[in-house]
Amino acid sequence: MNEVKWLDNAVFYEIYPQSFNDTNGDGIGDFRGIAEKLDYIRELGCNAIWMNPCYDSPFLDAGYDVRDYYKAAPRYGTNEDLKALFGAIHERGMHILLDLVPGHTSWEHEWFRQSCRAERNEFTDRYIWTDNTWEAPEGMNALIGLAERVGACGVNFFSHQPALNYGYYRPKPDKPWQQPADAPGPKATLEAMKDVMRFWLNMGCDGFRVDMASSLIKNDEDRKGVIALWQDVRAFLDREFPEAAMVSEWGEPDKSLQGGFHMDFLLHFGPSHYNDLFRCDKPFFGGSGDASEFVKTYRENREKSGGKGLMCIPSGNHDMYRLAKYIHGDGLRISFAFLMSMPGAPFIYYGDEIGMRYVEGLYSVEGGYERTGSRSPMQWDGTENAGFSSAPAEKLYIRLDPDNDRPTAEKAMADPDSLWHEIQKQINIRMEHPALQSKGDIDFVYCEKDSYPLAYVRKDGGKKILVVLNPSGKSASFAFSGVPGKAVYSYGGAVSAEGGIITAPANSAGWYLL
Ligand code: NOJ
Ligand code: CA
């Protein structure tokens, strides 16, 4: 697999396009709005962007229900506008990943319409159909009664998202509608998806975040089938777009990285224990939780994946509660001191850098349900609609955080002690030290059940940096044979070292040369 050099020090910023910046007053963010804010993102220190789906869609799942893979959603702009955005991003030395949704389409997609027809056609096998209207594919919900053809069509997520057919790893002989991955239908689906990738890579995007990447092949418990599928995609990319960067929504790095992804997310679902840190009753970074299970799984994952590829830890995303719902004050700064000092490329969810809150009590918008409160408009400044849009407040895509005291980027940037400046500082320091970046090694030196601090050593070549994080309200000590040198970063006071014991002040974080 080709190395993608820029990932070595990439720090990503996730943009949910509908909520970022609206420039034409229709209450919905747009490409031009993103272009206007690139300098803001760059100033924070991020050098890469992941943008959620921006394709034509009926938006029953915020765009994860694609109606036309080749067309930008008119509400965001045209394909030309998007191309111009790619250009503006590259001019600033930044990169952008689009969101690829290969597992399903909208039920309004032309492929699905054709696939519903009784008469056999090019798209008959594009989706997973049983041969009996009353029998859903095992383990899946299904659409029934919508088509002229006989059969039930499996869905991947919501009912309006019919599952594309990439085949079954072990098709059952008594179920002839289950096709192997190398049957003509599944092969054509995969070729069609490669063509979608080709289209956007040719237009200038730098790669993809892949939605539900592990789910494409069915009856594939060990994921052998889907790993092979992604290896095939990687081979295609290596041939045609060797620079294309890929990150999977998967959560099992030992498998996804084998499939040729450069990066996999550790997420709020799956076995990572990510929630123990940030999102549970007692999160570790909230000051009275436990990080030991997270560290145990993290180590196992690293071992299983042979240190190959990056495990990426996001501050949040559009599917989970905002970080600031559970973590406050110093805890937020120390959370970022962790995120910005871990291996893998960090991902900052828009607004987390100013401590944007989860907006409680909203009605669901575009299939958001409880996720809606994490998708509210970016809060830029103190003007109308927090500077997000000139539309009347009731026309905004999602209601703003109603608190008059809501954080804004303007306030955060004006205050040298803000979370924003803390993160900016952390990113700048990360950029100066390869040991802290994506590929630097990690050794956990202290992480005991229900105790603080969390300490690890990052390494690159001969350079070593000790990271000590104590988000608890009490000072905390651990035995360590080395002597921490100069602090390249510290918040809340530096550690003291005496007789092989290191003590970190309450609510502190520090990165020390060794
Ligand atoms: C994961 C995406 O992140 C989420 O927003 C979406 O609803 C589902 N996949 C279905 O595509
Ligand atoms: Ca707009």
Which DSSP letter does residue 423 get?
A: H
pLDDT the model gives residue 426:
99
Say if 449 falls within a structural domain. Answer: yes
Question: Which CATH number is 18's domain given?
Answer: 3.20.20.80
* Contact criterion met (CB below 8 Å) for 82 and 31: yes
Q: Which ligand is nearest to the CA of 388?
A: 2
Is residue 238 located within the same domain as residue 116? no
CATH number of the domain to which 481 belongs: 2.60.40.1180
Would you say the CB of residue 230 lies under 6 angstroms from ligand 1?
no
> Which residue among 429, 454, 484 closes a domain?
429
Q: Which ligand is nearest to the CA of 20?
A: 2
Q: Which of 429, 463, 493 is a domain's end point?
A: 429
Residue 196 forms part of a structural domain: yes
Q: Give the pLDDT band (50/70/90) at residue 306.
A: confident
Residues 258 and 385 in one domain: yes
Query: From the CA of 28, how far away is ligand 2's center (Å)?
Result: 4
Pocket test for ligand 1, best of 212, 248, 374 (most atoms within 8 A of CB): 212
Could you report the per-residue pLDDT of 61-91, keeping only the tens digit for each?
Answer: 999 999 999 999 999 999 999 999 999 999 9
Ligand 1 neighbourhood includes 321 CB (under 6 angstroms)? no
By the 8 A CB rule, do 151 and 129 touch? yes
pLDDT above 90 as % of the chain: 99
Count of CA atoms in the C-beta half-sphere (13 A) of 508: 24
Which atom in ligand 1 lies closest to the alpha carbon of residue 318? 5
Answer whether residue 176 is part of any domain. no
Residues 416 and 503 reside in one and the same domain: no
Identify whether residues 384 and 241 lie together within a single domain: yes
Q: How far is the CA of 53 from the centre of ligand 1 (A)?
A: 10
Name the average pLDDT for the chain: 97
pLDDT per position as a tens digit, 369-392: 999 999 999 999 999 999 999 999
173 within a domain of the structure (yes/no): no
Which residue owns the Cα nearest ligand 1 atom 3?
Answer: 319
Q: Is residue 333 part of a domain?
A: yes
Q: Is the pLDDT of residue 1 over 80?
A: no
Residue 309's domain comprises 5-102+186-429
Claim to verify: residue 455 and residue 405 sit in the same structural domain: no
Closest CA to 367 of 158, 134, 57, 112: 158
User: Which residue in 116, 319, 293 sits closest to 211, CA to CA?
Assistant: 319
**Whole-angstrom Cα distance, residue 339 to residue 315?**
7
Looking at the structure, tell me whether residues 90 and 138 fall in a common domain.
no
**Do 192 and 116 reside in the same domain of the chain?**
no
> Of the bound ligands, which one is closest to the alpha carbon of residue 60?
1
One-letter identity of residue 180: P
Instruction: Look at residue 111 and tell me whether its pLDDT is greater than 80.
Output: yes
Instruction: Verify that 41 and 148 share a domain, yes or no.
Output: no
Q: Does ligand 1 lie within 6 Å of residue 277's CB atom?
A: no
191 found inside a domain: yes
Query: For the chain, how many structural domains are there in total?
Result: 3
Are both 230 and 317 inside the same structural domain?
yes
Any domain includes 181: no
Check whether residue 26 and residue 9 sit in a common domain. yes
Domain presence at residue 174: no
Taking the centre of ligand 1 as the mean of its atom positions, its distance from the CA of residue 340, in whole angstroms, is: 25
Q: Is the pLDDT of residue 130 over 80?
A: yes
d(CA 496, CA 477): 9
